[in-house]
Amino acid sequence: MSVTNSKPEHVAAAFANAWNRHDMDEFASLFASDANFVNVVGVWWKNRSEIEAAHRATHDTMFRGLESDVSSVVELAQGLASIHHSWTLTGASAPDGTPIVIGKGILLLIVQEGQSGWRIKVAQNTDIVPAIIAPAA
């Protein structure tokens, strides 16, 4: 399934919508075939197929709801943009079924415009760890 995204921020909304419906076909369609994705624990997937397979496995077992908000969109060049996407993961569980404490983080998406709309080329996900946040300058 192909999702047409007319603006960069539409990719972030489509990401959250596909996640919450656990529609990994649509989720995968948001990525360029040669996309890279580094998850919150440093696992690095190097193409759409790897990204889809990993997310399909975790959505079958661990992940549920994602509340999210596009925090910033920055045009890097014509047809290239960065999106910072703040998120809160709800209803997640460990592989053994034990509930996971609600997590928060920031997802950085680098998106590129092509003939079929905007697609994710690079994704970097970061957990927010409150106990380690440095004091304000």
| pLDDT score of 80 more than 90 | yes
Give the SS3 label for residue 30: coil
The tokens 């997640």 sit on which residue?
92
Strand partners, 112: 80, 119
| pLDDT score of 100 more than 90 | no
Domains of the chain and any CATH numbers: 8-129 (3.10.450.50)
pLDDT digits (tens, 9 = 90+) for 26-51: 999 999 999 999 998 899 999 999 99
Separation in Å, CA 66 to CA 15, 44, 88: 10, 21, 6
Q: What does the pLDDT read at residue 70?
A: 77
pTM for this predicted structure: 0.83
Q: Give Cα 49 to chain centroid, integer Å.
A: 15
Q: Give Cα 136 to chain centroid, integer Å.
A: 27
Q: What does the pLDDT read at residue 1?
A: 41
